[in-house]
Amino acid sequence: MVAAALPDLDALDIAALKALVLQQHEQHLQAFLSQTQQIEHLKLVIEKLRRMIFGAKSEKTARQIEQLELKLEELETAQAADAGTELPVPEAELKSKPFRRPLPEHLPREVVTHLPESDSCPDCGGILRQFGEDVAEQLERIPATFKVIRHVRPKFACANCERVVEAPAPVRPIERGLAGPGLLAHVLVSKQ
């Protein structure tokens, strides 16, 4: 935005000065709103392209997403510089552990409980009591629908020797992955 030359401020009365300040404020507000609208539009386009990424032209879509993300970053940086504030570093970037969003709640869920092989402690034969559980979700595809299979592994502790007993985790097609074998088969067959 090119700034217009200011009139002689000493020659203006209070009403003219107020009008000048209001006019400049309106111009800055319009510029800020324009940037904000551009940022929101780019975010929506990026989300739309991410949903399309598994189509036939996914490589082209991935390049478009990268370009739009760069433009979005530039706009956000410029907006923060205009406001005179530094961009806050998201906590997710500070931590090295990746964040995974939970699977959508509207999907039907099937709970599969994996119990240890025996009801007694393998070390001393004492009685086991449950004190917690590990829960892992896996996304599975049933033709024309999806469901979440919830693998629950209760944790038991021996009353005598305090040993923790838990069933082994079920084997997954992709280690630490969310996709089940049916979903992976569907993706492989339908991707051409």
* pLDDT score, position 66: 79
Inform me whether the pLDDT recorded for 109 exceeds 60.
yes
CA dist., res. 81 & res. 74, Å (int):
10
Q: Estimate to the nearest angstrom the gap between the alpha carbon of 128 and the chain centroid.
A: 39
Inform me whether the pLDDT recorded for 27 exceeds 80.
yes
Inform me whether the pLDDT recorded for 190 exceeds 50.
yes
DSSP of 9-70, one letter per residue?
TTTS-HHHHHHHHHHHHHHHHHHHHHHHHHHHHHHHHHHHHHHHTTSTTHHHHHHHHHHHHH
* pLDDT score, position 15: 86
**Range in 32-46, 49-63, 152-166 the model is least confident about:** 49-63
CA dist., res. 65 & res. 54, Å (int):
13
84: left (phi over 0), alpha (psi -120 to 50) or beta: left
Task: State the first-to-last Cα distance of the chain, in angstroms, to the nearest integer.
Answer: 48
Quick one: what percent of the chain has pLDDT higher than 90?
3
Local confidence band at 3 (pLDDT 50, 70, 90 cut-offs): low
pLDDT per residue as tens digits for the range 60-99: 777 777 788 878 888 877 777 776 644 455 554 555 666 7
